[in-house]
Structure 1
Amino acid sequence: MTVSILIFLPVIAALAVLLFKNGAAKHAALTFAIAELAVALLFLSRFVPDASFQFGTSAPWIPKLGIYFSAGIDGISMMMVLLTTILVPLIILTTYKHEYKNASAFYALILFMQAGLLVVFTALDGFLFYIGWEAALIPIYFICSMWGGQNRVKVTIKFFIYTFSGSLFMLLGIIYLYLQTPAKTYDLFEFYRLALDPHHQAFIFWAFFLAFAIKMPLFPFHTWQPDTYTEAPSAGTMMLAGIMLKMGVYGVIRWMIPNAPLGFLQWQSLTVMLAVIGIGYASIIAFTQKDGKRLVAYSSIAHVGLIAAGIFVWNREGVQGAMIQMLTHGVNVVGLFFVWDIISSRLNTRDTSELGGIAKVAPKFAVAFLIIVLGTVALPLTNGFIGEFLLLSSVFQWNIWMVTAAGSTMIFGAVYMLRMYKKVMHGETNALTATFTDISGSETLTLGIICALVIIVGVYPQPILHISEAAVNHLVDVVNVKFGPVK
């Protein structure tokens, strides 16, 4: 049993879904997505949580150029595999009360994107990593441009130009590393063995950093994100925010810092500063938003800023906190975007000033919404708490002033999220919200699963932390040795 099964099953599923029409396409897509989750859980049941790569596959692809289809799973990858395979069926389930023109293509693109994401999270070959990176971008481009909002074409082109430009810089970095290897190979572990001087590592650092900072997105490379999240169809927004932005975070951990430790060390203070500025900037902008979906988009920038800060300080608590926070942020942000999808589909507005009193007419919806909001603001015993605690602790060890700034702006996040909830759910109903109907069917199931994850992971996070702990500790130790006496 190798990781190839995980990668190619969504591709086969996507091709099969193209044969179905209308409602049958969504049922087929959900069935295949659940099957993929079952396979991932089977891998998890056989996974040994140490620092090794497991379920590996390595086959010649273009051997004359040193390119192999090489992939495997360690604890860091397993977290990302779980994130992807858990969220994709949930995202498909959120679409059950929507009708899409050319539905078979819509669901096939989601499954193709899942395959690209899994390639990124498991690739052990630089060329394969780049192929997966671009393979995940192409489906979301079509999802946003074909099924998005009124300004979808303009916004999607901006998104594509931003991310594709960053990808080209990353490709240059990968090719440069390839040329430095004695055997002329794209093998990740051969990259790790290189001992480039700080000047050349600085080039590698910036080549990777531009691609990953745009994808996360990190301030000031974030300007494509709010418009894209707002204009994309809800399922596309969930794929972007829940999973795709984690490609950038994962890339920093797996590809940027280990391959250019001395280059990273030269610019470490700047990266931490940009991450912390992004938290404050996004939190302040979120305060001014009346569009609920756009508010969640800015809150996502703030949360990713904290994840990035924890990674850039580079200690065990920070990287481990980033791993669990990527998982919990994915669950929570999908829940928040689904909440706003329900509201906008029923009331045809996302303007918080036009809403109010929904809790009186939709109590089940109000409870689910509140649980997700509490997870997002990291209330103790919810899934967001343990990751945020580890991240803030890691930044505190690096610089007390940075953690003060980061912690203060995260408090702002709690204020604007709870204020949003109050405006939408409390107060008196009006002519618009009085017609709101409570959740039912697939909506209840989806929000129920998300709420269960918020509570279960919050109450007992240790099994999740244990998955990545050994791999994180090993990688941090390996990189710290490369820092040498400079660190």
Structure 2
Amino acid sequence: MTVSFLLLLPLLAALALLFIKGNAAKNAALFFSVAELALGAYFVTQYTPDASLQFVTDFAWIPKLGIYFTAGIDGINIIPVILTVLLVPFIITSTFKHDYKNASAFYALIMFMQFGLLMVFTALDGFMFYIGWEVALIPIYFICGMWGGENRIKVTLKFFIYTFAGSLFMLLAIIYLYLQTPDRTFDIFKFYELKLNAEQQSWIFGAFLLAFAIKMPIFPLHTWQPDTYTEAPSAGSMLLSGIMLKMGVYGAIRWMIPIAPVGFYEWQNNPLWLAIAGIVYASIIAFRQRDGKRLIAYSSIAHVGLIAAGLLAWNIQGLQGAMIQMLNHGIEVVGLFFIWDIISRQLKTRDVTELGGLSKVAPKFAIAFLIIVLASVALPLTNGFIGEFLLLNGVYRYNMWMGIVAGLTIILGAVYMLRMYKNVMQGETNALTATFTDITLSEKIVLGIICALIIAIGVYPQPVLHLSEAAVTHLMNTVNGKISEALLHKLGK
């Protein structure tokens, strides 16, 4: 079985959902997403954790232009693939308490976005990667623009302009690389083999970096994110924060650094410092937020800034940390946005200062909320700990002072997240919060699985780390070899 089955199912599901009306649409969407999860589980169980490509599909798409539909799974992309198939059923289940106008289109867009995301994560052809990149953008634009908050049009337009403009620079880089290949191909491995000089690689690195830094986002290209997360419907916020921003992280690991290793080596410090600056900046801004959803948005900037810093430090610890933390952050942030969706749906407010005492009326909800918050602040034996430990270890090995500054994300994050929990859950109830009811069965299922994953990965992360270990080591050695070769060639001159 090839990865084409994993891509085809959500695409067919999206088309089918357009013809299913009413509440049946959400049930059908959940069925399709669970089927995709089962298919993903099959690939994971059949996967051999080495550095090879597996489940490859390869056929001519537009052969006259050197465009092929080439996709596969290896240790670099298996974790974002797992993340995508795992979170979409949770996200769909979280919407069951909402009634969306034109529900068939809403759920069709979610499945179409899953198709685009999986296309990005599995593509081994530059043109296919770019198409998937844009395909993933289109549905989230409509999800936010049609079902978002009051300021959705302005905010969504800003988000679209940012991300589309960045992707145009990436497209230019891909076309340039295509023109440099002897046989005019978009094959990623032919891109890896190109003998580009330092100046060419610097331009390629810069073009890719702009696209990926906007998507993550890295300071100062983050300004679209808090507004978009706040105005998007909860499902849109989960898709954006849980999965879509991992496109930038993955793109840097798979495309940017291996294609332009010398450009990366020459400019490495600059984006690394920007990522670290974003950690501190976002954490400080999070202190000032009264809107719970907006607070989580700034928290996400800080956490993803650390992921970016870890991978840009470019050592085994940092890169393995980035791989596992993509999964961990996705699980945690979807849980946090779901928590705030439950609060805002029942109480019609996200203002932290108006809340208090929810643990007295909803003890099960309080326990789930606490576990997710503790994972977010990287408490040992939660999944957040191992990822952030490896990331900080990687940054510290690259530069001690960078590691110290980056470590502020744990300290500052603990302060604003625990303060948020205290203000929302502790103290006495008021006239508003006394009406809050504990979580329902569907909410228990989603939060229960999220909490179980947080604890399971936190206690025993080795199976996840083992999936990517061989591929990460191979990639690291290959890139470092190219950098060493270029430096020796430079010294020889």
TM-score tier, shorter chain, comes to: over 0.9
Residues in 1 aligned to 2:284 and 2:81: alpha-carbon distance in whole angstroms: 33
Q: What corresponds to 1:328 in structure 2?
A: 328
**TM-fit CA distance, 1:266:** 1.3
**TM-fit CA distance, 1:265:** 1.1
Q: Is the partner of 1:60 in helix, strand or coil?
A: strand
Kindly indicate whether the alpha-carbon contact (under 8 Å) linking 2:378 and 2:410 is maintained by their aligned counterparts in 1. Answer: no
Kindly indicate whether the alpha-carbon contact (under 8 Å) linking 1:93 and 1:446 is maintained by their aligned counterparts in 2. Answer: yes
**TM-fit CA distance, 1:195:** 1.3
Residues in 1 aligned to 2:484 and 2:272: alpha-carbon distance in whole angstroms: 20
Residues in 2 aligned to 1:265 and 1:346: alpha-carbon distance in whole angstroms: 51
Q: Work out whether 1:128 is the aligned partner of 2:133.
A: no
Residues in 1 aligned to 2:168 and 2:409: alpha-carbon distance in whole angstroms: 33
Q: Work out whether 1:202 is the aligned partner of 2:199.
A: no
Q: What do the CA deviations read for 1:57-105 (whole angstroms, capped 9, x no partner)?
A: 1100110110000000001211111000000000000001110000000
Residues in 1 aligned to 2:75 and 2:34: alpha-carbon distance in whole angstroms: 22
Q: Work out whether 1:442 is the aligned partner of 2:422.
A: no
Residues in 2 aligned to 1:169 and 1:402: alpha-carbon distance in whole angstroms: 29
Q: What corresponds to 1:235 in structure 2?
A: 235
Q: What corresponds to 1:297 in structure 2?
A: 297
Kindly indicate whether the alpha-carbon contact (under 8 Å) linking 1:292 and 1:351 is maintained by their aligned counterparts in 2. Answer: yes
Q: What do the CA deviations read for 1:173-207 (whole angstroms, capped 9, x no partner)?
A: 00000001111100000000011000000110011
**TM-fit CA distance, 1:34:** 0.3
Kindly indicate whether the alpha-carbon contact (under 8 Å) linking 1:310 and 1:322 is maintained by their aligned counterparts in 2. Answer: yes
Q: Is the partner of 1:196 in helix, strand or coil?
A: coil
Q: What corresponds to 1:22 in structure 2?
A: 22
Partner amino acid for 2:286? A
Residues in 2 aligned to 1:295 and 1:333: alpha-carbon distance in whole angstroms: 11
Kindly indicate whether the alpha-carbon contact (under 8 Å) linking 1:180 and 1:194 is maintained by their aligned counterparts in 2. Answer: yes
**TM-fit CA distance, 1:408:** 2.1
Unaligned runs of 5+ in 2: 489-493
Q: What do the CA deviations read for 1:367-398 (whole angstroms, capped 9, x no partner)?
A: 00000000111100001000100000001111
TM-score (norm 2): 0.98
Unaligned runs of 5+ in 1: none
TM-score (norm 1): 0.99
Q: Work out whether 1:8 is the aligned partner of 2:8.
A: yes
Residues in 1 aligned to 2:430 and 2:38: alpha-carbon distance in whole angstroms: 45
Q: What corresponds to 2:165 in structure 1?
A: 165
Following TM superposition, the consecutive aligned residue runs of length 4 or more in structure 1 with deviations greater than 2 angstroms are none
Partner amino acid for 2:464? I
**TM-fit CA distance, 1:402:** 0.5
Residues in 2 aligned to 1:80 and 1:400: alpha-carbon distance in whole angstroms: 29
Kindly indicate whether the alpha-carbon contact (under 8 Å) linking 2:303 and 2:409 is maintained by their aligned counterparts in 1. Answer: no
Kindly indicate whether the alpha-carbon contact (under 8 Å) linking 1:279 and 1:410 is maintained by their aligned counterparts in 2. Answer: no
Q: What corresponds to 1:117 in structure 2?
A: 117
RMSD: 0.7
Q: Percent identity?
A: 71
Q: Is the partner of 1:70 in helix, strand or coil?
A: strand
Q: What corresponds to 2:346 in structure 1?
A: 346
Partner amino acid for 1:198? A
Residues in 2 aligned to 1:49 and 1:22: alpha-carbon distance in whole angstroms: 43
Q: What corresponds to 1:388 in structure 2?
A: 388
Residues in 1 aligned to 2:432 and 2:76: alpha-carbon distance in whole angstroms: 46
Residues in 2 aligned to 1:420 and 1:195: alpha-carbon distance in whole angstroms: 52
Q: How does 1:239-258 map to 2 (within 5 A)?
A: 239-258=239-258
Q: What do the CA deviations read for 1:131-189 (whole angstroms, capped 9, x no partner)?
A: 00000000000000000000000000000000000000000000000001111100000
Q: Is the partner of 1:328 in helix, strand or coil?
A: helix
Q: Is the partner of 2:133 in helix, strand or coil?
A: helix
Q: What corresponds to 1:142 in structure 2?
A: 142
Partner amino acid for 1:56? V
**TM-fit CA distance, 1:22:** 1.5
Q: Is the partner of 1:52 in helix, strand or coil?
A: coil
Q: How does 1:238-317 map to 2 (within 5 A)?
A: 238-317=238-317
Residues in 2 aligned to 1:477 and 1:315: alpha-carbon distance in whole angstroms: 10
**TM-fit CA distance, 1:338:** 0.3
Q: What do the CA deviations read for 1:431-484 (whole angstroms, capped 9, x no partner)?
A: 000000000121111100100001011011100111111111111110000111
Kindly indicate whether the alpha-carbon contact (under 8 Å) linking 1:201 and 1:260 is maintained by their aligned counterparts in 2. Answer: yes
Residues in 1 aligned to 2:418 and 2:351: alpha-carbon distance in whole angstroms: 16
